Chain A
Amino acid sequence: MSNGSCNNCDIEICDLFTPRFDVERFGIQLIGSVRHADLLLITGAMNKKSIPRMKKIYEQAAKPCLVVACGTCACSQHMFRDSYNVGEPLDKILPVDLYIPGCPPKPEAIISGILKLVSKIKKGK
Chain B
Amino acid sequence: MKLLFDYLVFPGFLFSAVIGLLAGWIDRKVSARLQWRVGPPWHQNFTDIFKLLAKEVIVPQGARFTFLLSPYLGLISAVFVAANLGRFIISPLESFSADLIVILYLLVIPAIALIIGASSSANPLASVGASREMKLILAYELPLILVVITVVIKSQGALQIGQILIQQVTLGSNIFSLSGTLAFLTALLCMQAKLGLAPFEVSEAEQEIMGGVLIEYSGLPLAVFKLTKAIMLYVMPVFLIVLFLGKDLSPLFLITKYLILLVLIILIKNTNPRLRIDQALKFLWRKPKL
Chain A residues proximal to chain B, CB less than 8 Å: 19, 22, 24-27, 31-33, 35-36, 38, 60, 62-64
Contacts and interface: CB of A to CB of B under 8 A. Distances in A.
A24 B215 CA distance: 21
Contact of B40 (A19, A25, A62): A25
Nearest to A37: B218
Contacts of B39: 22, 24-25
A59 to B, nearest CB: 10
Contacts of B219: 62
Contacts of A27: 40-41, 44, 47-48
Contacts of B207: 32
A22 B32 contact: yes
Contacts of A64: 54-56
A31 B36 CA distance: 21
Interface of B: 28, 32, 35-41, 44, 47-48, 51, 54-58, 206-207, 209-211, 214-219, 222
A60 B55 CA distance: 13
Given A60-B58, A62-B55, A62-B218, A33 B211 contact: yes
A25 B48 contact: no
Contact of A24 (B37, B56, B217): B37
Given A19-B37, A27-B47, A35-B217, A63 B56 contact: yes
A35 B209 CA distance: 14
A43 B55 CA distance: 25
Given A25-B41, A35-B215, 5 more contacts: A25-B38, A27-B47, A32-B215, A35-B216, A64-B55
A106 B206 CA distance: 26
7 contacts: A25-B41, A35-B216, A35-B217, A36-B211, A36-B218, A60-B58, A64-B54
Contacts of A31: 211
Contact of B57 (A22, A24, A38, A62): A62
A33 B214 contact: yes
Nearest to A24: B40
A64 to B, nearest CB: 7
Given A31-B211, A62-B56, A24 B28 contact: yes
A49 to B, nearest CB: 22
Instruction: State the 10 A-B residue pairs at the shortest beta-carbon distance, nearest first.
Output: A32-B210, A62-B218, A22-B37, A35-B218, A27-B44, A19-B36, A33-B215, A33-B211, A32-B211, A62-B56
Nearest to B126: A33
A58 B51 CA distance: 19
B250 to A, nearest CB: 35
Contacts of B210: 32-33
B218 A38 contact: no
A77 to B, nearest CB: 29
A39 to B, nearest CB: 12
Contacts of A25: 37-41
A36 B47 CA distance: 14
A42 B206 CA distance: 20
Nearest to B208: A32
Q: Which of B47, B54, B207, B210 has most chain A Cβ within 10 Å?
A: B210
